Amino acid sequence: MSARERPLLVIPGDDPVQIAGSPRLDTLGEHYEIRLFDNRPADDSEKVQRAAGATAMINSRGAVTWPGEVLRQLPELKFISTCGIGTDSIDLVACGELGITVSNIPGRTAPVVAEHAFALMLAISRKTSYFTEAIKRNDWHQVLSTSLAGKTLGVIGTGNIGTEMIRLSRAFGMEVMAWTFHPDAEKAARMGFRYVERDELFAGSDVVSLHVKLTDDSRHLVSSRELSLMPAGSLLVNTARGAVLDTEALVEALDSGHLGGAALDVYETEPLEADHPLTRCRHVVLTPHCADQTPEGNDLLNLGATENAITFLSGQPQNIVS
């Protein structure tokens, strides 16, 4: 197929770099004319300019959002793939109305993300960030930290990532209970955890880890009420989506001393503002939405997006969410 015959695929804001320089672009180039932008569009008008004439799009960064009013100005656009499992950056209702197929990448980087969530749990339980900052200030002192073996982990959401988190935690000697929108009794029996009601999970967990996608049903799923149910000194980990957790309620629980600490990779507003209240909380570990950002993780995501785009072009789209 000549370059002039190939449909246009746009990567509208590859910042920070996700797919630029990847050998997966060569594969895509066999099927599409590629137009890649290495910085984020400044506004909705620039999004329209960048995506004009495109049949397909790989939205490599979820920070670049696609509301309905933008999508309606792109009549030739027929396909969007994310570079991850989350689709909250895209107006799926508008895509359904406009006939735009949306695909995501479920499950491929679940072990990579769960490893990061587990690392966050270890970091906050053993206060590694707190001690590091103290030593850098020449403040050599010791306070008690938390040993996780034998403790109870409450997992909210038992999809691919939540399941991997359970596997790691069970191997570490933790007891696990879980709550999810769609419980799987066979999985629970096979992996050695139990499903409980949501209030029981919060009340009985030494650590709670969040692994649900962001929907209308999960927005602020964890707020003041749920945090108040958690035992004094317990810990919270969030690698799901920022808005699953009520940030204001979390800061209050940390400032009051009710929670012993929190470890977060996602935030209600990203990037996190320099003077955000979370940055002054003592026992927090903060990472910049990078749970799947390893060379292996990046390549798995790039491969998934490439396969999504090619299968769409062949008339057999995969991983369809809208």
d(CA 132, CA 136): 6
Which tokens in the block code for residue 287?
């990472």
The reply to whether 276 belongs to the active site is no
**Catalytic pick among 116, 211, 241, 283:** 241
**Catalytic pick among 69, 133, 248, 270:** 270
d(CA 82, CA 302): 10
> With contact defined as beta carbons under 8 Å apart, do 86 and 64 qualify?
no
Which tokens in the block code for residue 216?
């209308």
Q: Which residues contact 195 (CB under 8 A, 6 or more apart)?
A: 177, 178, 179, 180, 183, 185, 188
CA 124 to chain centre: 19
Which tokens in the block code for residue 259?
């929670």
252, with CB counted inside 10 A (0-12, 13-18, 19+), is: middle
The reply to whether 289 belongs to the active site is yes
The reply to whether 5 belongs to the active site is no
d(CA 237, CA 223): 14
Name which of 295, 289, 271 is nearest 21 in CA terms: 295
Q: Which residues are catalytic?
A: 241, 270, 289
